[in-house]
Each structure stands twice: as structure tokens, then as C-alpha cells.
Amino acid sequence: MKSKLLSLTAAALLLLVGCDSLSGQQTSNDGRINAVTTVGMITDIIQQIGGEYVNVNGLMGPGIDPHLYRPTARNVQTLQNADIIFRGGLNLEGKMGEIFDRLNEQITVVAMAQDIPESELLDFPAYPGHFDPHIWFDVSLWAMGVNTAAEALAEIDPAHAETYAANAASYLQRLSALDAYITEAIATIPEAQRVMITAHDAFQYFGRRYNIQVAGLQGISTEAEAGVQDVQNLVSFIVDRQIPAIFVESSVPARTLEAVQEAARAQGWDVTIPAQLFSDAPGNAGTGEGTYIGMVLHNVAAITIGLGGTMPDLPDALADYHDVIERAVSA
């Protein structure tokens, strides 16, 4: 019944847009490909690959939760006017599936995850029967998405295919440096403390790729709300293992983890909450943290320093992000 309602809503919105189009509204055409993206990580990638030939319109800004995002009528119009649409896939944009299905009849809709083999995907306990959509925290998986996006752009704009391939290749070199750097940074955390405790379930791929245990209240309990027993179990775990830090994300309320922090203090163990992590959206556009690489490096710095590791020197390919690390560490 829910999906029927959604599909009616989508149909109504598309009808509305149809009326608007009849009233004479046209997209301006400067000869560039008109790409529409969902989350900020994808917006950044398409800008990197598309360069001067692609106009990128990102629907979701900083702090937006893609799982719950409902497109506005204006968003639907923007999507309808696109030459190509890029989304995360794996149900990341949980409330937009119907609209993408409809648009896909006329417009190329690309999912960043579409070429990743199922064997590489993790189950998503929050939505049983679905794969975990947070693939961007394994840089090697996200790199597959970059290739997918570059090929899709080349297909709809063959005249600039060489440029897209070259842009993607140079960006992928930076991602390869990033992937190696994260492995190196996380490995500096003393092994007993290499545990990342968060309130959100966005970091399973990160944990698998970079060899750090990921634990959360919601991972311990299948209930949506963490119970008193969950909090007590987590506090005992933190105190026993002497975990120095726990982590809060930009799109999740801090309250639950602050309660854990207080309970640990009551048992004589001082656990810190370092700089907020980015989970499902990067920082403000125009800042280092507003890029995919910057958001990941911010998280890595907060996690590594928070858990007692040290940040290795940045490789030349990532030298632009020195300030991002400084800010994360001093926050």
C-alpha cells in the first residue's frame, strides 16, 4: 500500500511537471551535458570527470539524509530536464526509487553501484534483504563507480569521451593514493583500540577494507531505539577495552553516544568524542571537506588520532588536503 501511494505521488508530480513544461519553461542549452546527481559525493565525482563539458546539478546538500530524502516538485522537474542522472543505488535514495524507475524510461539513470559484483557487497542489517548502500567508505569500491560514471558520460557524449576517460584516470590515481593512505593511517592505531564505535551503520565497508572493527548501538540491537541493556553492554566494552574515543556523525543526533560517554565516565573511564564524522553527505561545497576525498580524509584523521594513532605524511597526490587533516585533528 505504501508503494502504491508513493507511485501515485510520483505520477502526480510528473503530471505537474508536464503542465509546467506546457506553459513554456525550457532548460537553457549551452551545449553542455546536463547531469543531475543525488548525494554530494556523487556531485563531486561527476564534476571531476565531466570538467568543462558537464553542468552538474546536485539535489542533496550538506547534512541531508539520503535514506529519508523526498524530492520536491522542483527536484522532479530538474530530474526530468536532465540528460543523465547519477544516483548511489542499492536503495540509498530510499524514497526516490519510483521516480527513478519512471525517469529511466526516457533518461539514462546510472547507479554508482551498478557494476560492483554482488560478492563485494555487504548485507544491510537495518534493511534486511538489502545490500548496504554505503560503498563510498571503501575507496576501491567507489573507484569502480567512478569508472561506471565515466563510461556512462562517454556513451551519451562520445565527442568528449577521451576527456572523460582522461579526467577519470587522473582522479582514479588520487583515489588509489587515498586508499593506500587510509590503510597506512588506520594501521597506526594500537590493535586493542582499533574499534570504531558509532551510532550509524555507514561504516561497515570502511571497517572491512581498512581493518578496523566497527561497532554501534544499532549493531548490537536490532531494535531501532537502543535499549538500556545495549547502552550498558557498550559501556562495559568501552571500559574493558579502554577505547579512547567514540564517534558521532553529521546526520545523526549526538544524544545517544553522549549518554554512553557519561556512563563510561561514571565507571572511571574518560572516552572522548572527536570531530563529527561525515557519513552520508560531505561538508559545504567550496571547502576541502565538501569533496569526496576531503570528507574521507577528515573522517580518517578524526578516527586515527581519536583512537591513539598518528597520521602519516600525505602523499603528493593528496597534498591539497593538508588543511582538512589539520582542522579535523584540532577540532
Candidate ranges 26-34, 148-156, 194-202, 257-265; the one touching Zn ion (CB under 5 A): 194-202
Min. distance of Cβ 128 from Zn ion in angstroms? 16
Q: How far apart are CA 151 and CA 161, in angstroms?
A: 8
Q: Using the rule CB under 5 A, is 248 a contact of Zn ion?
A: no
Instruction: List strand residue ranges (DSSP E) for 60-210, in order.
Output: 84-87, 108-111, 195-198
Candidate ranges 118-126, 141-149, 275-283, 300-308; the one touching Zn ion (CB under 5 A): 275-283
How far does the chain reach from its first CA to its final CA, in angstroms?
Answer: 46
- Single out the residue of 157, 179, 280, 289 in contact with Zn ion (rule: CB under 5 A): 280
Min. distance of Cβ 131 from Zn ion in angstroms? 13
Question: Which distant-in-sequence residues (6+ apart) come within 8 Å of 37 by Cβ?
Answer: 43, 46, 56, 57, 58, 59, 85, 86, 87
As given in the structure block, the three cell numbers for residue 176 are 588509489
Of the pair 202, 214, the CB lying nearest Zn ion is at 202
Give start and end residues of each alpha helix (H) in 187-227.
204-210, 217-220
Min. distance of Cβ 279 from Zn ion in angstroms? 6
Of the pair 93, 280, the CB lying nearest Zn ion is at 280
Hunting for cell 561497532 — which residue is that?
215
Of the pair 202, 263, the CB lying nearest Zn ion is at 202
Count of residues touching Zn ion (by CB under 5 A): 2
Min. distance of Cβ 252 from Zn ion in angstroms? 9
Candidate ranges 26-34, 203-211, 223-231, 274-282; the one touching Zn ion (CB under 5 A): 274-282
Candidate ranges 14-22, 47-55, 99-107, 201-209; the one touching Zn ion (CB under 5 A): 201-209
Of the pair 32, 209, the CB lying nearest Zn ion is at 209
Q: How far apart are CA 134 and CA 203, in angstroms?
A: 7
Min. distance of Cβ 251 from Zn ion in angstroms? 7
As given in the structure block, the three cell numbers for residue 248 are 558521532
HSE (CB half, 13 Å, CA atoms) of 331?
19
- Single out the residue of 202, 243, 257, 325 in contact with Zn ion (rule: CB under 5 A): 202
CA distances from 295 to 136, 143, 178, 214, 238 (A): 10, 15, 12, 18, 26
Sites of contact with Zn ion (CB under 5 A)? 202, 280
